[in-house]
Amino acid sequence: MAHKFEIYKDKAGEFRVRFKYNDEIMFSTEGYASKASAKNAIESIKKNGPEAPVEDNAD
């Protein structure tokens, strides 16, 4: 599969989520105190991401 969410622990011991496409990191989240919170972030992105507007500030 080319797309995937990855939960990992950073050097500070916080859980983070990164979204990868063909092993390239497209984005990563803030740190969370628990793995459950990181999983909730993934579900929020899946639920709300497809309907999110695009803001183009590249003038």
Res 5: pLDDT = 97
- Domains for the chain: give ranges and CATH numbers: 3-50 (3.30.160.160)
Res 8: pLDDT = 97
Res 59: pLDDT = 83
**Which has the closest alpha carbon to 4: 19, 25, 24, 26?**
19
Q: Phi and psi dihedrals of 15, rounded to 5?
A: -85, 135
The predicted-structure confidence for 12-59, as pLDDT tens digits, reads as follows: 999 999 999 998 999 999 999 999 999 999 999 999 998 999 999 998
Overall pTM surpassing 0.75 (yes/no): yes
Between CA 38 and CA 29 the distance in angstroms is: 9
